Structure 1
């Protein structure tokens, strides 16, 4: 029995030594696993932080992108509006230009027609004036004067048989539809030497037959007169 116990003690002793030898590697293994676990925790924390940062960055970029898209859409819409307004203005300008050209052409045509009409009217007026002058000349040639009147040129003249003042002579002429003769041509005025001298307010003229010249005379004096009518 003692041998059995001895053997049992020996077995326990060997078992203890064997356990002591195996404890070293197990401890190292546990420490390694613990280190790897902590490292995994640190790595996981870092990854989570990176993920959060990435998410925030992506979210901000997405917001910026949305703002840019909205701004781009607004700018595009404004550009389209400006393009439409520009096209409308160009169409209006084209329409106004076309209308202006049409009015200009119409005005040019009317001005040409007016000029042609004016030239035609001038030609007709010239022709009619010549015709009137010709007819007037014929009428002057064919014109007859009343009895006792004498024709000279295109006018008729009457020499009074009675003497009267200038005012009475004019009234007598007007009563016959005439007037005292008017000498309006300087070449037909022949004053005697020293005349007119305007003595005693001599405002009328008399003709001296023997000199065939004029002498100024008072308008109150009674003289023969000459009536003239066309």
Structure 2
């Protein structure tokens, strides 16, 4: 009986020790969980603090930079508008000056036209005096006559003059165009090259190689071909047209 009792006590003692160990191992996880919870709270608080700091410093800085950039762009646009306004004002002033100068020139020309007149027997067109000869003669005779009058044979340098002369004369007349200096190179008597032409069909032809016509080195208005030009021997006897400025 005593042996059995002793064994029973041993068993109780072992069970008590085992129970104590089991109880201790059950309390340890609860402490770990509590520690981890506290650590999580601290980490969360740290994250919140960092977020607030980022919002107050980083985001605020970006907002300030954006505002500064907008202000810079507005200032630049303002300066550009000022520059454009200055340029516009300068152009306006230049236009005013040009308008004043053009007005003065127009008035001057009008005054000249009103003051200047052509001699008796001469006709004015575009501030130039024209004279159709009564007699006939060679191209050189006509030019000499014009020079004695302080003029020269007419130079046709515009469509307006050509149209005017087609009404001014109904006779074949010498004009101040020749290729005497260089065959085939026609020039006006004032030395300007021929650019605007009103030659009749197939003209100039230098007589077409027919010896009866000879060298055709002087030009005249041929009235029977719509007042167009023709080359002719300078010795032919025609009327001529003189021109001079009043």
TM-score scaled by length of structure 1: 0.52
> What CA deviation, in whole Å up to 9, does each residue of 1:65-92 have, x standing for no partner?
5477458746854774476332222111
- Residue 51 (1) aligns with residue 24 (2): yes
Mean Cα deviation higher: 63-72 or 107-116: 63-72
Measured after TM superposition, the shift of residue 132 of structure 1 is: 1.7
Measured after TM superposition, the shift of residue 97 of structure 1 is: 0.6
Structure 1 segments unaligned to the other structure (5+ residues):
1-26
> Match for residue 138 of structure 1?
111
> Match for residue 23 of structure 1?
none
The 2-side partners of 1:187 and 1:159 are apart by 15
Identify if the C-alpha distance between structure 1 residues 217 and 110 changes in structure 2 by more than 3 Å, giving closer, same or farther: closer
Measured after TM superposition, the shift of residue 98 of structure 1 is: 1.0
> Match for residue 234 of structure 2?
221
Identify if the C-alpha distance between structure 1 residues 129 and 40 changes in structure 2 by more than 3 Å, giving closer, same or farther: farther
Question: Secondary structure of 1:205's partner?
Answer: strand
Q: Is the 8 A contact 2:152 2:243 kept in 1?
A: yes
> Match for residue 220 of structure 2?
205
> Match for residue 77 of structure 2?
104
> What CA deviation, in whole Å up to 9, does each residue of 1:143-198 have, x standing for no partner?
689x9xx6835235578997336xx96xx98xx997742162264224869xx576
Measured after TM superposition, the shift of residue 48 of structure 1 is: 3.3
Measured after TM superposition, the shift of residue 135 of structure 1 is: 1.8
* Count of aligned residue pairs for this structure pair: 190
The 2-side partners of 1:107 and 1:217 are apart by 64
Structure having the larger proportion of residues in helix: 1
The 2-side partners of 1:95 and 1:49 are apart by 69
Q: Is the 8 A contact 1:178 1:229 kept in 2?
A: no
Identify if the C-alpha distance between structure 1 residues 93 and 216 changes in structure 2 by more than 3 Å, giving closer, same or farther: closer
Q: 1:94 aligns with which of 41, 55, 67?
A: 67
Q: Is the 8 A contact 2:221 2:227 kept in 1?
A: yes
Q: Is the 8 A contact 1:163 1:225 kept in 2?
A: no
The 2-side partners of 1:59 and 1:110 are apart by 75
- Higher-Rg structure is 1
CA RMSD of aligned residues (A): 5.3
Question: Secondary structure of 2:220's partner?
Answer: strand
Measured after TM superposition, the shift of residue 134 of structure 1 is: 0.6
The 1-side partners of 2:60 and 2:25 are apart by 51
Q: Is the 8 A contact 2:219 2:232 kept in 1?
A: yes
Structure 2 segments unaligned to the other structure (5+ residues):
172-199, 209-215
Question: Secondary structure of 1:221's partner?
Answer: coil
- Residue 154 (1) aligns with residue 118 (2): no
Q: 2:159 aligns with which of 184, 190, 199?
A: 184
Identify if the C-alpha distance between structure 1 residues 216 and 179 changes in structure 2 by more than 3 Å, giving closer, same or farther: closer
TM-score scaled by length of structure 2: 0.49
> Match for residue 164 of structure 1?
139
Q: Is the 8 A contact 1:179 1:229 kept in 2?
A: no
Question: Secondary structure of 2:138's partner?
Answer: coil
> Match for residue 118 of structure 1?
91
